[in-house]
Amino acid sequence: MDSDGFATHSRDVNGFTLREAMRCGVIETDWFRMKAMGEVEELLKTPRVHFLYLHHVFPDEIDNFRATLAHVQRTHEMVTYSRAVELVLSGQVTRPTACVSFDDGLSTILPASRVMDELGIKGCFFVCPAIVGERDREQVRRFAETRLHYPPMDVLGWAEIEEMASRGHEIGSHTYSHPNMGEVSLEQAIDELQYSRDELRLRLGGVKHFAWPSGRWDNFSARAGKAVFDLGYESCASAIRGCHMPRPFAVDRRDVCLRREHIMGCWPLRHNLYFMARSVRRVGPKDYQWPPKWQRIVKQESTVPGEDGGVPGEAMALA
């Protein structure tokens, strides 16, 4: 931590707790069993699209981050986020394919984006315009406590984001101010989607992709999902683990709720590969879809976002 209590090293965020030690034990046991059976290599050879995502890469994580991406690049075709979305929609996936995205717009992703440039990998960086360029550290601290729910870290400014975009990286919307989209009213949810879209259009000339904060089903709603597409976003991403398998038919963008695989710069390579392999082992043919009760609502096309009214939470109950 620095003198203001801002996280500067991996250990500031990933403290060694009993829970973490137990989690590691489970992963290690399953990993070595899968390795012994030769499963890992076979699973990772499976043609599919795998969306990897991270939040931060501290200076003490950057070498491991580089090694992880270099390893994935040797075994997967690395594509842009937009290309990965196209492949998922078309279903025509013929080889192991991966892309990289980052959430929250933290300043440590700037050097991470340069490592990606060295490797020839272009990512998508999901940002919240409300906090971009905030230099008042009390404001950043409050945002981290109330919205991000992890220790405070410095955030990127617009000039840095524009510079990353000029190097070929994509910038996506992560809402305007990172609320729990499963708890706000539909009107607030639409405002979050719209303000973010409008500011990114103004600053960068456009925005295609959206990833919802925290990314679990209870952090979102069917009606907010419908609004994402009504407002012109081309894709909507969760943080639910998984990957996207080939399909003999194409689907509409409203049919797809992207799954993303959380990896960490501080995790050993085998832990990151373990989660990827586990997702391939578990994936089902319909794991690109919304929950069954949400599908009809997300797919209702509309020119007026949210015209059917109601509160997002109403549509939340899953079968």
Q: Which residues bind Zn ion (CB under 5 A)?
A: 103-104, 213
Q: What share of the chain is helix, strand, coil (3-state, %, to 5)?
A: 45, 10, 40
Q: How far is the CB of 18 from Zn ion (least distance, A)?
A: 26
48 versus 197: smaller Cβ distance to Zn ion = 197
CA 55, 101, 3: angle at the middle one, nearest 5?
A: 20
Name, in order, each residue with C-beta under 8 angstroms of 174's C-beta and a sequence gap of 6 or more.
Answer: 103, 104, 105, 126, 127, 128, 196, 210, 211, 212, 213
Q: How far is the CB of 105 from Zn ion (least distance, A)?
A: 9
Q: How far is the CB of 93 from Zn ion (least distance, A)?
A: 27
179 versus 213: smaller Cβ distance to Zn ion = 213
44 versus 131: smaller Cβ distance to Zn ion = 131
54 versus 283: smaller Cβ distance to Zn ion = 54
Exposed, middle or buried by CB within 10 Å (0-12, 13-18, 19+), for 72? buried
181 versus 298: smaller Cβ distance to Zn ion = 181
71 versus 217: smaller Cβ distance to Zn ion = 217
7: left (phi over 0), alpha (psi -120 to 50) or beta: beta
Strand partners, 125: 102, 171
Distance (Å, rounded) from C-alpha 115 to C-alpha 254? 33
What DSSP state is assigned to residue 233? -
Question: CA of 200: how far to CAs of 157, 162, 208, in Å?
Answer: 13, 10, 10
Exposed, middle or buried by CB within 10 Å (0-12, 13-18, 19+), for 135? exposed
Nearest C-alpha neighbor of 67 from the set 305, 269, 299, 310:
269
Q: How far is the CB of 174 from Zn ion (least distance, A)?
A: 6
Distance (Å, rounded) from C-alpha 257 to C-alpha 260? 10
Q: How far is the CB of 42 from Zn ion (least distance, A)?
A: 33
Q: How far is the CB of 57 from Zn ion (least distance, A)?
A: 15
88 versus 144: smaller Cβ distance to Zn ion = 144
104 versus 199: smaller Cβ distance to Zn ion = 104
Looking at beta carbons, which pairs linking 268-273 to residues 24 or more positions away fall under 8 Å? 268/64, 269/64, 269/67, 269/68, 269/71, 270/31, 271/24, 271/27, 271/31, 272/68, 273/40, 273/44, 273/71
Q: How far is the CB of 148 from Zn ion (least distance, A)?
A: 6
Q: How far is the CB of 133 from Zn ion (least distance, A)?
A: 17
Q: How far is the CB of 143 from Zn ion (least distance, A)?
A: 11
Helix (H) or strand (E) holding 119: helix 109-119
44 versus 200: smaller Cβ distance to Zn ion = 200
